[in-house]
Chains A and B, each alone.
Chain A
Amino acid sequence: MTEKETILKAEARDLSFYYGQAKALKNISLPLYDKKVTALIGPSGCGKSTFLRCFNRMHDLYPNNHYEGEIVLHPDNVNVLSDKVDPIEVRMRISMVFQKPNPFPKSIYENVAYGLRVRGINKKSILDEKVEEALTNAALWNEAKDRLQDLAFNLSGGQQQRLCIARALAIDPEIMLFDEPTSALDPIATASIEELMDELKSRFSILIVTHNMQQAARVSDYTAFLYLGELIEYNETKKIFTNPDRKETEDYITGRFG
């Protein structure tokens, strides 16, 4: 992994975010590379989810929030936080997997087809093909192919999370956001999702929040350490985990955080 191979996909530039008056993110600048996994680590409440949710403008759903600074999406070179940008268009390109599996009250098939239907794609042959492809890529096809019309809630927690990944994959995103996607799962389901992530990064850029240091070390190429809304350190994962520049980072990684 040398610098020459990496293509910039998006970058936060001096990004701050406010819940009402409370400044939850403080002037964060961070690149996101294409076909790479970037991990966000840091203690609870440091702003990892808040940062992640800026990328698909989830904060727009609630009143009184506001952004400062930019998140520039490449190759368009457009600030996705700008008022001139339609948040729905942003979400159509940057998809998200949540901490808690949140399938829709629909069949397995319709869950995966949802994003396509929302985009006005209703042709059965296209949907069939896309659903199979997405479920295959999410390593769920074998378990689900005989029960596509079952309600999604009947799946196990790990299967539901893979279904949510399939749902997010079906729309061919450019960036995929994961907010602690394995925190509600057992070690086996976690391992299968980590494995998946390794395959998925060949297609797009991934930003993942995790509390699990081993997970960050295993799946990511770059790691950012956040603390109290500030970006303390960002570097290649190998460097962060072997030889961090900042004392805070080292303390956190080694569990000596006070």
Chain B
Amino acid sequence: MNTPSNRLAYKPLRHIKERIIEAGLFLAAFMSVATTFAIVAILVYESIPLFKVVSLWTFLTDTQWTPLFDDAHYGIMPLVAGTMVTTAVALAVAIPMGTIIAIYLSEFASHKVRESIKPVLELLGAVPTVVYGYFALIFVTPLLQKLMPELSGFNMLSAGLVMGIMIVPYVSSVSEDAMRAVPMHIREGSYAMGSTRFQTATRVVVPGAFSGIAAAYILGISRAVGETMIVAVAAGMQPNFTLNPLEPAATISSYIVQVALGDLPHGSIGYQTIFAAGLTLMLMTLVFNVIGYWLSRKFREVY
């Protein structure tokens, strides 16, 4: 009974319910954090046998990666170089194209055009990457060979270009969201000063959306660094310490699938190398994400 004297009394049931809900939510958040830590822990733990045989210094400075040969070398740099080159080629495609598409969709396209282009773009991101890989290998490479006859059948250029196409929708959709979040009254201010649409887009909207656009680029980089199938299929899988995109090479991720799918015995040094490679990949992605986080903090929009 709620008599006037007890209507303000503490209601334990309400607070117990709150606690249970809170615990459930915490558990969900905790799971994803725990999984991340577990992955890192396993990578570190499984890499230890390798680093007992190979010093960290050798791992970082040796210019050959031949862990499966009799004359084994354990220098990660060829794989890092392959990853960097394919990523750079991909970004050279994805960043300009993605940004231009985002500007068009956000500032120029009519509602109708935007609504019909966006699903098609998103489809690009939904194509399985192995399909892109074969597209690069049996379509783009022969096309490039017509221009550059000396180009080898497996090469980083073709893989990088196709990877760039794959990443375009990631860059464009996140950039477009960021640009559309720039409030209309800021745009109106620019138009009222007598600027054209293009001036408004490039001088006001893009700077205003900078942190979101930076986040889009970082997302694109992370995608490119981790991409596996396209490079595994089209770039060849020979570790090759070169920065020349016309040559074949292996990337960190393509090396990992190559070994993981092979029949190396568990516990052999060759097998353990994939964990060290995985750890390297994870650290690289982490660095890009930290840069991205820092950029978007530094240039955060304040409206």
| A102-B188 in contact (CB<8A) | yes
The distance from the CB of A161 to the nearest CB of chain B, in whole angstroms, is: 12
A9 at the interface (CB under 8 A from B): no
- Chain A interface size band reads 20 to 34
- Chain B interface size band reads 20 to 34
The distance from the CB of A208 to the nearest CB of chain B, in whole angstroms, is: 15
Scoring B187, B192, B207, B301 by chain A CB atoms within 10 A of each residue's CB, the highest score goes to B192
User: Please, which residues of chain A bring their CB within 8 A of the CB of B208?
Assistant: 104-105
Q: Which of B36-44, B195-203, B240-248 contacts A (4 or more CB under 8 A)?
A: B195-203
**Binary contact readout B208-242 vs A (1 if CB under 8 angstroms, 0 otherwise):** 10100000000000000000000000000000000
Give residues 52-71 of A contacting B (CB, 8 Å). Answer: 56, 58, 61, 63
B193 at the interface (CB under 8 A from A): yes
A106 at the interface (CB under 8 A from B): yes
Scoring B191, B194, B195, B303 by chain A CB atoms within 10 A of each residue's CB, the highest score goes to B194
Q: Quick one: given A105-B204, A171-B194, are A164 and B199 in contact (CB under 8 Å)? A: no
Residue of chain A at shortest CB distance from B205: A105
> In the bound complex, how far is the Cα of B61 from the Cα of A178, in angstroms?
66
A200 at the interface (CB under 8 A from B): no
User: Please, which residues of chain A bring their CB within 8 A of the CB of B117?
Assistant: none
A91 at the interface (CB under 8 A from B): yes
User: Please, which residues of chain A bring their CB within 8 A of the CB of B210?
Assistant: 105
> In the bound complex, how far is the Cα of B203 from the Cα of A167, in angstroms?
15
Residue of chain A at shortest CB distance from B186: A102
> In the bound complex, how far is the Cα of B302 from the Cα of A153, in angstroms?
7
A223 at the interface (CB under 8 A from B): no
> In the bound complex, how far is the Cα of B186 from the Cα of A63, in angstroms?
19
Q: Out of A100, A106, A167, which one reaches B193, CB within 8 Å?
A: A167
| A91-B204 in contact (CB<8A) | no
| A88-B196 in contact (CB<8A) | yes
B128 at the interface (CB under 8 A from A): no
Q: Quick one: given A104-B208, A105-B301, are A91 and B186 in contact (CB under 8 Å)? A: no
| B195-A118 in contact (CB<8A) | yes
| B185-A56 in contact (CB<8A) | no
B280 at the interface (CB under 8 A from A): no
| B195-A102 in contact (CB<8A) | no
| B194-A92 in contact (CB<8A) | yes
Q: Out of B185, B194, B303, which one reaches A118, CB within 8 Å?
A: B194
| B192-A96 in contact (CB<8A) | yes
| A98-B194 in contact (CB<8A) | no
A124 at the interface (CB under 8 A from B): no
**Binary contact readout B109-122 vs A (1 if CB under 8 angstroms, 0 otherwise):** 01000000000000
Give residues 86-103 of B contacting A (CB, 8 Å). Answer: none
User: Please, which residues of chain B bring their CB within 8 A of the CB of A88?
Assistant: 194-196
Residue of chain B at shortest CB distance from A153: B302
> In the bound complex, how far is the Cα of B188 from the Cα of A56, in angstroms?
11
Q: Quick one: given A102-B186, A105-B301, are A114 and B196 in contact (CB under 8 Å)? A: no
User: Please, which residues of chain A bring their CB within 8 A of the CB of B302?
Assistant: 153
A123 at the interface (CB under 8 A from B): no
A4 at the interface (CB under 8 A from B): no
Q: Quick one: given A114-B203, A118-B199, are A104 and B194 in contact (CB under 8 Å)? A: no
Q: Quick one: given A104-B208, A114-B203, are A95 and B193 in contact (CB under 8 Å)? A: yes
| B189-A91 in contact (CB<8A) | no
User: Please, which residues of chain A bring their CB within 8 A of the CB of B190?
Assistant: 104, 114
User: Please, which residues of chain A bring their CB within 8 A of the CB of B187?
Assistant: 61
Q: Quick one: given A104-B204, A118-B199, are A91 and B188 in contact (CB under 8 Å)? A: no
Q: Quick one: given A105-B207, A118-B199, are A61 and B186 in contact (CB under 8 Å)? A: no
Q: Quick one: given A102-B185, A153-B302, are A95 and B192 in contact (CB under 8 Å)? A: yes
The distance from the CB of B67 to the nearest CB of chain A, in whole angstroms, is: 50
The distance from the CB of A25 to the nearest CB of chain B, in whole angstroms, is: 19
Give residues 260-303 of B contacting A (CB, 8 Å). Answer: 301-303
**Binary contact readout A151-184 vs B (1 if CB under 8 angstroms, 0 otherwise):** 0010000000000100110010000000000000
> In the bound complex, how far is the Cα of B193 from the Cα of A96, in angstroms?
8
User: Please, which residues of chain A bring their CB within 8 A of the CB of B196?
Assistant: 88
The distance from the CB of B178 to the nearest CB of chain A, in whole angstroms, is: 12
The distance from the CB of B117 to the nearest CB of chain A, in whole angstroms, is: 18
Q: Quick one: given A102-B185, A104-B204, are A91 and B199 in contact (CB under 8 Å)? A: no
Residue of chain A at shortest CB distance from B196: A88
A256 at the interface (CB under 8 A from B): no
The distance from the CB of B95 to the nearest CB of chain A, in whole angstroms, is: 20
User: Please, which residues of chain A bring their CB within 8 A of the CB of B199?
Assistant: 118
In the complex, 15 of the A-B residue pairs with CB atoms within 8 angstroms, ordered by the A residue number, are A58-B192, A63-B110, A89-B194, A98-B188, A102-B183, A102-B185, A102-B188, A104-B186, A114-B190, A114-B193, A114-B203, A115-B193, A119-B194, A153-B302, A164-B189
Please give 16 more A-B residue pairs, beta carbons under 8 A apart, in addition to A91-B193, A118-B199: A61-B191, A88-B195, A91-B191, A92-B194, A95-B192, A98-B189, A100-B185, A104-B204, A105-B207, A105-B210, A105-B301, A114-B190, A114-B203, A118-B194, A167-B193, A168-B193
- 4 tightest CB-CB pairs across the interface, nearest first? A92-B194, A91-B194, A102-B189, A105-B208
